[in-house]
Structure 1
Amino acid sequence: MIPSESRVIYVAEALPGSGKSAKFIDALPTLIHTSKTLYAMPTNALIKELALAIKLKAGISPLVITSDTVDHVTVHLEKVLAANTQPLVMITHEALRRVEPRLLGGWELVVDEVPSVSDCKSYIFDSISYLGSLGNYLTVDSKKKAALKLENIALVENMIKAKDSSALSDSALDVLKAMLTPKCGVEVEAQTNKGKRLVRIVRYRDFLPAFSYANSVHILANNVQDTLLGIHATYQGWQFEPSLFTPEFDGYGKRVELHPFLTTKYSKTQSMMQRNGKPADTWDEGVQLADWLRCITAMVGDEKGLAFAHQWMQYNFSESITKLPIDSRGINGYQDRHIAICLQHGNVSPDDALSFHTLSEMLGVPVAEVRKAIEFERFYESTLQAVARTSLRDRSSTEPVTLFVQSMDMAIYLQQKLGRLATINTDLVMTPWEKQESEKKKAKAQQQAEVISLLIEKGMSRQDIAIDLGIPYPTIKRWTKGLEQAA
Structure 2
Amino acid sequence: MIYVAPNKVIHTAISAPGAGKTQALISQLPALLSAGRCIVLALPTKILSTDIVSRLPVGIDHYVINSDTCYPNPVGPELQAALGSRTNKLIITTHASIFSVPPNMLRGWMLVVDELPAVVGFPDFPFTPSGLDTLFVHTSERDGHLHIREGCDAAIETSLKIFRAAKSGAKQTSMLSEEGAKIFTCLLNGNPVFIGAKMDNGKRHVHAVEEYSHWKIFAAANEVHVLAANIDGSLFDEFAQVHGFTYTRSIFTPVFEGYNSLITIYPAMPKGRDYSKTKAEKIVGDIAINQYETIPFTVVDAILKAALQKTNGTPLLFSNDWAGFKWLNKKTVHVCSIDSRGLNDYQGETDAILLFGGNPSPADKRSLQYLATKYARDFRHAFAVTRLLEPSLQAATRTAVRVRGNTQPITIFVQDERVADYLVKTYMPNAVIDWSFSQITPVQPDGRKVEDPRKAQVFELFDQDMRNADIVRLTGVSRGSATNWKREWKALKAA
CA offsets, 1:279-308, max 9 Å, x none? xxxx9755433333332222226x211111
**One-letter identity of the residue aligned with 2:16:** L
The structure 2 residue matched to 1:395, chosen from 388, 399, 404, is 404
Q: CA deviation at 1:357?
A: 4.1
Which residues of 2 match residues 340-379 of structure 1 at below 5 A? 340-359=352-371, 365-366=375-376, 368-369=378-379, 371-379=380-388
Aligned pairs, number: 423
Give the alignment's TM-score, normalised by structure 2: 0.78
- Structure 2 unmatched ranges of 5 or more: 164-171, 286-293, 450-495
Correspondence for 1:299 = 310
- Structure 1 unmatched ranges of 5 or more: 277-282, 439-487
Q: CA deviation at 1:168?
A: 3.9
Q: CA deviation at 1:31?
A: 0.6
1:138 partnered with 2:139:
yes
For the Cα contact (< 8 Å) 1:4–1:214, is it kept in 2? no
Correspondence for 1:189 = 196
The structure 2 residue matched to 1:313, chosen from 302, 323, 335, is 323
1:33 partnered with 2:34:
yes
Correspondence for 1:45 = 47
**One-letter identity of the residue aligned with 1:314:** G
- Identify if the C-alpha distance between structure 1 residues 78 and 346 changes in structure 2 by more than 3 Å, giving closer, same or farther: same
Correspondence for 1:233 = 240
CA offsets, 1:399-436, max 9 Å, x none? 22111111233223212333454222232123741344
Rg larger in 1 or in 2? 1
| SS of residue matched to 2:29 | helix
| SS of residue matched to 2:66 | coil
Take 1:2 and 1:109, find their aligned partners in 2: how far apart are those partners?
22
1:418 partnered with 2:430:
no
Q: CA deviation at 1:382?
A: 0.6
For the Cα contact (< 8 Å) 2:259–2:401, is it kept in 1? yes
Take 1:91 and 1:412, find their aligned partners in 2: how far apart are those partners?
35
Which residues of 2 match residues 29-428 of structure 1 at below 5 A? 29-34=30-35, 35-56=37-58, 59-70=59-70, 71-131=73-133, 133-142=134-143, 144-150=145-151, 152-163=152-163, 164-180=172-188, 182-192=189-199, 195-262=202-269, 263-264=271-272, 265-273=274-282, 286-300=297-311, 303-315=313-325, 316-318=327-329, 319-359=331-371, 365-366=375-376, 368-369=378-379, 371-395=380-404, 397-419=406-428, 421-428=430-437
| SS of residue matched to 2:206 | strand
Q: C-alpha root-mean-square deviation of aligned residues, in Å?
A: 2.7
Correspondence for 2:438 = 429
Correspondence for 2:491 = none
- Identify if the C-alpha distance between structure 1 residues 410 and 129 changes in structure 2 by more than 3 Å, giving closer, same or farther: closer
For the Cα contact (< 8 Å) 1:120–1:352, is it kept in 2? yes
**One-letter identity of the residue aligned with 2:422:** Y
Give the alignment's TM-score, normalised by structure 1: 0.79
For the Cα contact (< 8 Å) 1:2–1:213, is it kept in 2? no
Q: CA deviation at 1:385?
A: 0.8
For the Cα contact (< 8 Å) 2:146–2:194, is it kept in 1? yes
Identity of matched residues, %: 30
**One-letter identity of the residue aligned with 2:82:** V
For the Cα contact (< 8 Å) 2:119–2:236, is it kept in 1? yes
1:20 partnered with 2:21:
yes
- Identify if the C-alpha distance between structure 1 residues 427 and 356 changes in structure 2 by more than 3 Å, giving closer, same or farther: closer
Q: CA deviation at 1:122?
A: 1.8
Take 1:352 and 1:335, find their aligned partners in 2: how far apart are those partners?
34
| SS of residue matched to 1:317 | coil
For the Cα contact (< 8 Å) 1:39–1:88, is it kept in 2? yes
